[in-house]
Structure 1
Amino acid sequence: MSLSTSVQEQVSDTQIITASCPGGLGTVDAVTAYLYQQGCYINEINSFDDIDTQRFFIRIEFRPDRQSAFNRENFISGFKTKAASFDMDWTLTRKDDKAKVVIMVSKHDHCLNDLLYRYRTGDLKIEIPAIISNHPDLEELAKWHGIPYFHLPVNKDIKPQQEAMIWKIIQDCDADLVVLARYMQVLSSEMCQRLAGWAINIHHSLLPGFKGAKPYYQAYHKGVKLVGATAHYISDDLDEGPIITQGVETVDHSHYPADLAAKGQAIECQTLSRAVRWHIEQRVFLHGEKSVVFAK
């Protein structure tokens, strides 16, 4: 067996367990001791105890010992009792599984292009069962990748019906995650509630100072010295959901509006893909109005 084959087999066997519970003695041991009892080797472990809210968070990547196979049903059955005694909310996922991601986009294609490239090359372990847009402009790009494209124009008269279609597509795709890759429509309160915790949005970090049209022109005339991007979960409060990650770079007087926009778009791509990666790798925990993120 070659080294690369051995490494690949280990990755395919790797599981991820995440848990959160009230803080207290024995929380780490509750998980790690059980893994030891099950003959599992820990590849990576992250934990955080929020002393303000007395809430504990843990994420562990592990793999079964080479001498034994991993029995998922037996593992879950055995851990349920231990988790219940600590009042744990927990999940178990297989690292190599591909998340089903529905992408929503308008006319700007930079974030969509970046995600499609990472999907095509395997950099992001995802499937994309559908792309939804309120414009027809990017249909050919979707077709080139063999991905169904749904053009659903939106105006105030038909918005409820179109959102109902969007929700049906998401459900029909059995989506694990929805990504708003510069989807320039405000979702209804009902849709935001349905997607809370599993829909990621991206926008420039010039907000709230430069709202509306041509934010980079506004920023240029104010002489900004930083541009960036914010990726967050959507919420009823526009662009104010729990933040997953942000990116920022310095600029100066030599950056004209087009330069600011180009730099901003590059940061948006990097920031959004990072947020998607951390979400599908179970690195993000919702924690009230913010998030706990075990970044890598």
Structure 2
Amino acid sequence: MTENKFILKLSCLDQPGIVAAITTALAARGANILESNQFCDRPTNELFLRIAFAVPVATTRDILELALKPSVDRFDMKLKIEDLSRRPKIIIMVSKFDHGLLHILYQIKVGWLNAEVAGVVSNHEDSRATTEHEGIPYHYWPVTKENKAEREEQLIELVKETGAELVVLARYMQVLSNDLSNRLFGMIINIHHSFLPSFKGAKPYHQAHERGVKLIGATGHYVTADLDEGPIIEQETERVSHAMTTEDFVAAGRDIESRVLARAVKFHLEGRVMLNHHRTVVFTQ
């Protein structure tokens, strides 16, 4: 390997000279910019910038952070640099419906998704055989009202032990507590099997069928204390008709959920998502 690749993400109040200061500092370290995206949120005047770049192998993240510090201080930036050579670790949580889990495992297997599954957590045994076949630790943690707080502490400890930087709720049918949602804010992605905010609950497709909707969909979003109302990362819809049964709706929904969840995870792990208060800025390319 003759070079290191990094992603730089920053946000700050927009003003002249920000991009020039960053790119000049990177150029001084021999950086070659591979991809650059920026967005200014005019109502708040906040700038969001993502740059993917390569530098000589001797240039480490510490060296880059030191080189960028004058610009960070000058513009009061929130800046983060991520190493593209690493393989991010994730934890997947699932209940009985395993289509989201299977799709993520497949996308990792074929190389489309760069991640390592550090563990699968479930309140059911249904996915144990699949998980262990892939050589992934399986954690069977039944949840009751009495042990919910204990289980959530176990999850926090598992995140720390494995170094996981993302928890993926792949149709995990348990509501996380406000405390856990706040402690891991920005680190938990959920797939909501509905096009938010309509049709919440356990059977949204049944509700949609009863209402005669013409579009169904799924939403990948960050988890917050407000149930299914966190910042949205990715969505997709599909046209349906009166001739379709409830089972047809559910089957179509499974496909959409799997795709949307995988894309949301990919965008997050590639550093393409930046939180903008209750919304997100997503640089897809």
TM-score of the aligned structures, taking structure 1 as reference length: 0.92
Match of 1:162 among 151, 156, 160: 151
Alignment partner of 1:48 is 2:51: no
1:1-296 alignment to 2 at 5 Å?
Answer: 13-64=4-55, 69-296=58-285
Taking the aligned partners of 1:134 and 1:19, their CA distance within structure 2 comes to: 38
CA deviation after TM superposition for structure 1 residue 37, in Å: 1.8
Q: Give the letter for the 1:42 counterpart.
A: I
- Shift of the 294–208 alpha-carbon distance from structure 1 to 2, 3 Å rule, reads closer
CA deviation after TM superposition for structure 1 residue 211, in Å: 3.0
Taking the aligned partners of 1:291 and 1:38, their CA distance within structure 2 comes to: 31
1:125-167 deviations in whole A, cap 9, x for unaligned? 1111110001111111110000000011011122112222222
* Map of 1:5 onto structure 2: none
Taking the aligned partners of 2:273 and 2:200, their CA distance within structure 1 comes to: 28
1:180-217 deviations in whole A, cap 9, x for unaligned? 11110001111111110111000122444323343222
* CA-based RMSD: 1.6
Gaps of at least 5 residues in structure 1 are 1-8
**Secondary structure of 1:153 counterpart:** coil
Q: Give the letter for the 1:76 counterpart.
A: E
**Secondary structure of 2:229 counterpart:** coil
Q: Give the letter for the 1:21 counterpart.
A: C
- How many residue pairs get aligned? The number is 285
1:92-140 deviations in whole A, cap 9, x for unaligned? 1122311110111111000000011112222211111110001111111
**Secondary structure of 2:191 counterpart:** strand
Is the CA contact (8 Å cut-off) linking 1:15 and 1:94 kept in structure 2? yes
Aligned-residue sequence identity (percent) comes to: 43
Taking the aligned partners of 1:295 and 1:165, their CA distance within structure 2 comes to: 34
Q: Give the letter for the 1:234 counterpart.
A: V
Gaps of at least 5 residues in structure 2 are none
TM-score of the aligned structures, taking structure 2 as reference length: 0.95
* Map of 1:4 onto structure 2: none
Taking the aligned partners of 1:223 and 1:117, their CA distance within structure 2 comes to: 34
